[in-house]
Structure 1
């Protein structure tokens, strides 16, 4: 029985270690790598595509604001038919039938709008910059979620393999215990203890499989395809700052969430000036050209043209504009408070992520030591059981401790990779360009340049 248990242990140990090491050195040449999964998420993730579409929509605010500098041209036309009957008391009755038509062209050019066009353009440009920063923040959140989903599937696959191997070991141990019971070398209690551990292992295996299915579903949602053979060949360590102070300095100056909040505050400030401009005079220049046709037997026409300068000086609007100015100032203050809040949140995220990464590295060292010690302990307990110095329960306990150590090691290795990505994300540097992802990098500036100075046209740059 001792040699049989040792053979089982040796096989299970080799397979278990292989399962754990798949997180670092897989042997499958056609496996999907972490960088490939991140590239897929970058290209296919629906949330990221929604954010890109939103950024393109914000770009249109600039040409809308610039339209205030451009003339408005309107054409008009009308047809009129007039019938008149006149009943004269001491003379003949008369009637007339007159038709007329009018064509007109009106051109209106704003000369002064209380600086609303200039400030509106600056507001729209600040909104574009805020939208780009928000897009970059969404991008790094998606990439972090993709990395986390990848590592979760890799971890859960390893855990299912470990739970399955544990079932095999306990099954063999249970059969050996029943054989010994039949020849009177052990008791019914030992058999019951073995059966109980087998049942526990079965429930753990079922739970591990359910967790893996959930992780696979999340993987497909974020990355866009079903996970197959995964290969973890990349860590974010090269992107990490050397010290916590350096991480904080980079995050507080360059984090896209902080940049977005800053540009939103700028946009809100310009919006206040736009509304204040409604209290200033408006100067416009209008030009009209009209041609009138009269159809009264012989066609006659009359042409006219005029140029009109107008000035409109607002005096009182019922308090509506004043209220909007006050409201805009409150919103501006709110945006500044949100900026301070975002800085505090980023700072807390960096410190937390730094602590998580430091702790995960220490956990791996402890987990490896636990795994090695538990391996030696199980081998010794099996050998001592063979000579009658240990019970079946001792073997089961030693196997459970080894199983726990292996599970801890798999989880710790996953946690270290995820913590590294979390720190890069907290610093604000987790993006496709720094990761070197394959495929085309989305450039929001291209769409902006295509639409900024468009005077007309209904089609979007991509042809819709």
Structure 2
């Protein structure tokens, strides 16, 4: 069922909506590509991931050989006198040079804390990758929301301007009928009041559109004056699978917020192992090579020393810090498990809400589409009744207001439906740029 041609013509042929840049079909992916390159939130998430993945090589380094080298050089000069027992003092004037090279290799043999930190770092890397995937998914959703917000605000402005023009015509007709004695002054006053209200609505709609464009610019980094619009009709498929329980089950397994909470719980569990390792001994091996040279007027020589050793460190008492650290780590682990449980419950609720949003959204689109047609018919009947004297000017104004309200609700319901589809996929952890491409196919040139 199509919108009446007369109404569409009135909406699309309004002044004040000059297109500064031509919009093209498949414009949504262009906007998304700009968001990928310029969105500050997404770029921050990328850098955060790059920083977080360094946790694994840093943790691994504690288990690999540590080699250090040092070199020392010194010069000294000695002046004065010296005497040995039974001999007179003799003047001395000596120069000496000392050189020393030391190379030390340390290798961890057993350190349970280092092993646990390595496993913990693996979970931290997994968490970083999951967080970035979530940022990518949220960028898809934020782009669609900002894009449709601009379209919705543009529709509202056009509809408000069309309503203003229609009410202005009614005001002019009411004044003419009053001048020839065919209506009362109350009809003019009512029309004037409605016209003043439409002027205020247009001003508000202009402000909302400006704010929506700024929000889209914040994501893309570039100002956008006009974008491609949705075609008048498009399919409204039901969720697949059609069972909300299947969506909830998938969300509990694949939702990115749930996966992040699981990684946090595993990181906290590894933290308990790290804390308990404070009670365990550590064993390390060391190999050292030294080359020392001394040159002087009295003593000189060269010596090379090679040393291999094992060092066992056994913790005896740390003032209670180790036990306190274990209790703290256990509490943190339980906190993360509670947060995981809360996140799973939140995801279940959000998934059910999104599923209902898709189901009821399709029904709302159809209902509002029919409401527009019915309101158009009611307006035509009111205008005819006004001409024959069975309806008043107030009836026509009410019918006009109802028509434009229904038209705005219908246009908004289409965006709400598409966003509900995206939110449902996001809840299940399945939202990608491919989903934007499918919506992109529904766009037409503005």
Q: What TM-score, normalized by structure 2, do the two folds share?
A: 0.87
- Residue-by-residue CA offset, 1:163-217 (whole Å, 9 max, x unaligned): 1111111222222222222222223222222111110000011111111111111
Contact 2:283 2:310 in 1 (8 A): yes
What is the CA–CA distance in structure 2 between the aligned matches of 1:226 and 1:240, rounded to whole Å? 37
> What residue ranges of structure 2 are gaps of 5+ in the alignment?
14-21, 439-446
Deviates more, 1:168-177 or 1:224-233: 224-233
Seen in structure 2, the aligned counterparts of structure 1 residues 238 and 360 have a Cα distance that, compared at 3 Å, is: closer
Return the offset for 1:436.
5.9
How does 1:89-128 map onto structure 2 within 5 Å?
91-95=88-92, 96-113=94-111, 115-128=112-125
Other-structure match for 1:177: 174
Seen in structure 2, the aligned counterparts of structure 1 residues 423 and 94 have a Cα distance that, compared at 3 Å, is: same
Seen in structure 2, the aligned counterparts of structure 1 residues 387 and 41 have a Cα distance that, compared at 3 Å, is: same
How does 1:282-297 map onto structure 2 within 5 Å?
282-297=282-297
Contact 1:101 1:293 in 2 (8 A): yes
Contact 2:170 2:191 in 1 (8 A): yes
Contact 1:271 1:328 in 2 (8 A): yes
- Residue-by-residue CA offset, 1:97-135 (whole Å, 9 max, x unaligned): 43322121111111111x233222111011111121122
Return the offset for 1:86.
4.4
Other-structure match for 2:78: 83
Contact 1:79 1:99 in 2 (8 A): yes
What is the CA–CA distance in structure 1 between the aligned matches of 2:371 and 2:97, rounded to whole Å? 103
Other-structure match for 1:74: 68
Contact 1:74 1:105 in 2 (8 A): yes
Contact 1:32 1:229 in 2 (8 A): no
Deviates more, 1:283-292 or 1:340-349: 283-292
Other-structure match for 2:18: none
Return the offset for 1:395.
1.4
How does 1:375-394 map onto structure 2 within 5 Å?
375-394=376-395
How does 1:52-451 map onto structure 2 within 5 Å?
52-80=46-74, 81=76, 83=78, 85-86=80-81, 88=83, 91-95=88-92, 96-113=94-111, 115-227=112-224, 228-232=226-230, 240-297=240-297, 300-432=301-433
> What residue ranges of structure 1 are gaps of 5+ in the alignment?
1-9, 20-27, 438-464
Secondary structure in structure 2 of the residue aligned to 1:288: strand
- Equivalenced residue count is 420
Contact 2:238 2:359 in 1 (8 A): no
What is the CA–CA distance in structure 2 between the aligned matches of 1:99 and 1:336, rounded to whole Å? 65
Q: What TM-score, normalized by structure 1, do the two folds share?
A: 0.84
Seen in structure 2, the aligned counterparts of structure 1 residues 94 and 274 have a Cα distance that, compared at 3 Å, is: farther
Return the offset for 1:139.
2.0
